[in-house]
Amino acid sequence: MSSNQASVAVSPSAIKTIFPLLFAISFVHLINDTIQSVVPALFPILKDSLSLSFAQIGLISLMINLTAALLQPVIGIFSDSHPKPMMLPIGMLFTLGGVAALSYATQFWMVMTAVMLIGIGSAVFHPISARVAYMAAGKRKGTGQSIFQFGGNLGQSLAPIMTAVLFVHTGQRGVIWFALVVTIGVIIQFNVAKWYGNQLSLMPVSSSKKAAKPASNLNVTTGKVVFAITILMILVFSKNVYIAAISSYYSFYAIEHFGLSVSQAQIVLFVFLAANVIGLLLGGMLADRFSRRSLIWFSILGTAPFALLLPYANLTFSIILIFFAGLILASAFSVILVYANELLPGRVGLVSGVFFGMAFGLAGIGSAVLGNLADEMGIEFVIRCTSYLPLLGMLTILLPSDRKGQAEQIS
């Protein structure tokens, strides 16, 4: 028996899909990303109460996202070689501290400190939880990844609803109620950590180390792997900067361009984020059935027509366009992660850390740059410029085909 077979034999999660665990992790992902989404949801409130500029709003987004971006690859690499299950509940404790600090922040630097704590919690959560989800998914990696991502996207979609229903009435002090939800997350993560620890105990150290660097499922050279990962990073850039533009600034655009109230603008934004949730589930499930490269091609480039038309549409058509843009674009991330794991098998923590880190980092940097552009050139200019980003999806043609590797997996 080979070392790779040995590691599979002792791990039940390598054979069957453990749905209860996947749903538990997905629920904590919902909590984590809901808390992260509280920050941009509060932007209209904080801008007025603390007299912030668009540039300062961009810096707040940069802080939470850049903190997560810098730490996640490091934690991902560490979790591959030195897995520490109890880091899961510890990460949620950082999030809890950030929630408490954000609810009572009265100055710009206090907000920055609070979101940094939330960013640290997220940096711990994503790569380690993604590794657990990968184990619990068994052979259905696309489905497992979509269930894991479902909670995160659902949490993000709740942000505009929270602003319209809660924060418009309670202000930033309403954030403190989320401390109870985060506490539930700590308890769940403690139990997930125990399962993860049991799974690790079933894997002999010698076997897991020998199986740490299996060959790529796509049968490509190291140089082509590096090139493909670079292309995937560019695609993640196009996806996340566009999402950052819509999530952070489209509500301001809708208020200015269509004369909507804050609550009405948040409902329009909710349509985009809710479409993200649906698209994510579809993308993950389709990834187990069809070519991942084809799905990536469709999800990035297929968004372009809707994104390009959005700045020139009336309110009714804008809602339709923003829904389909969110639906198609969201299907990309789960597929990209599964495809990247095929390029770099045995490096789940590294792949998750890098790509989640990039997602947050690029979104943060994009928000900061777009915030300065909005101050200088106006919100409408920002929405029009970012509408061209999905055209970068044409680079997907440069990725190696995965049809052969997928056919072998199915057989």
Give me the mean pLDDT over the 328-357 stretch: 76
| Per-residue CA distances from 175 to 103, 120, 186, 264 (Å) | 5, 18, 17, 21
Under a CB-based contact definition with an 8 Å cutoff, are residues 131 and 49 in contact? no
Residue 142 has pLDDT above 60, yes or no: yes
Token pair 């068994």 is found at 138
Residues 96-122 have a mean pLDDT of 88
Distance in angstroms (rounded) separating the CA atoms of residues 18 and 92: 23
Report helix, strand or coil for 59. helix
**Which domains does the chain show, CATH number per domain?**
16-410 (1.20.1250.20)
Predicted confidence (pLDDT) per residue in 15-61, tens digit: 587 888 999 999 999 998 888 877 877 777 787 778 777 788 878 87
What would the pLDDT profile of 382-405 be if each residue is shown by its tens digit? 889 889 988 888 888 888 876 654
Residue 132 is predicted with a pLDDT of 87
- C-alpha 305/C-alpha 293 separation (Å) is 20
Which pLDDT band, with edges at 50, 70 and 90, does 182 fall under? Answer: very high
Sequence-distant (6+) residues with CB within 8 A of 299 are 279, 283, 328, 329, 330, 331, 332, 335, 393
Q: Which has the closest alpha carbon to 396: 228, 284, 153?
A: 228
246 residue type, one letter: I
Short-list 93, 97, 255, 259, CA closest to 185: 93
Provide the 3-class DSSP secondary structure of residue 401.
coil
Closest CA to 44 of 149, 144, 158, 171: 171
Task: Give the pLDDT score at 400.
Answer: 82
- Nearest of 299, 338, 275, 295 to residue 146 by alpha carbon: 338
Predicted confidence at residue 160, as pLDDT, reads 65
Please give the full DSSP string across 219-287, using - where no structure is assigned: ---HHHHHHHHHHHHHHHHHHHHHHHHHHHHHHHHHHHHH---HHHHHHHHHHHHHHHHHHHHHHHHHH
User: Using CA atoms, how far apart are residues 129 and 132, in angstroms rounded to an integer?
Assistant: 5
- Cα 225 vs. chain centroid, distance in angstroms? 23
Cα 184 from Cα 169, distance rounded (Å): 25
Assign 10 a pLDDT band (cuts: 50, 70, 90).
Answer: very low
pLDDT at residue 317 greater than cutoff 90? yes
Tokens of 23: 């749903």
**pLDDT at position 93 over 90:** yes
- Tell me the torsion sign for CA atoms 277, 282, 283, 285: positive
Q: Where residue 310 falls among pLDDT bands split at 50, 70, 90?
A: very high
Can you tell me the mean pLDDT for 190-196?
Answer: 91
